[in-house]
Amino acid sequence: MAGKFVLDSFDKKILDCLQDNSDIPLAEVAKRVGLSTTPCWRRINRLQEEGIVRSRVALLNRKAVNAGVTVFVAVRTAQHSAQWLTRFAKAIASFPEVMDCYRMSGEIDYLIRLALPDIEAYDAFYKRLIAKIELSDVTSMFAMEEIKSTTRLPLNYLP
């Protein structure tokens, strides 16, 4: 992916623009980064082909779609086989309310972030989860306030 070629300052500026608003007109991106439209278009296509831009999506208002409650679920398991992990990953992928799922180091094996309408929806999720896969311990934490949430990745680490 990104290791195949070096990103220059134009590429970084393009990525910054696209992270702000992926619907920004090409002419506006070109103007902001200091390129004409054709070279800018070529760069955007190359960034997409290389997988640096993996998707261009619409970010929805969670409350407007009745998924305003964020729940973090810490999962522990006594099973650490490849077969169990495959089953767990398949189960997690089947739940539309799962926004993120990470395999962790430390005392927690997996951390899941959910977007739900309420505690009843969480209870229904929990029951469906434990019906699909055996777990040792499940701890849930409901977010009380969102301090920062972003899809923007830091670009200051690019070489």
Closest CA to 43 of 16, 7, 72: 7
Contact partners, residue 32, CB within 8 Å, separation at least 6 = 13, 17
pLDDT confidence of residue 1: 45
pLDDT confidence of residue 159: 81
pTM for the full model?
0.89
pLDDT confidence of residue 4: 64
User: What span, in angstroms and rounded, lies between the C-alpha atoms of 158 and 127?
Assistant: 43
Beta-strand ranges (E) seen in 77-127 are 98-103, 110-116
pLDDT confidence of residue 38: 97
pLDDT confidence of residue 121: 98
Q: Which two tokens stand for residue 28?
A: 């506006």
The ranges of the chain with pLDDT < 70 are 1-4
pLDDT confidence of residue 129: 97
pLDDT confidence of residue 6: 85
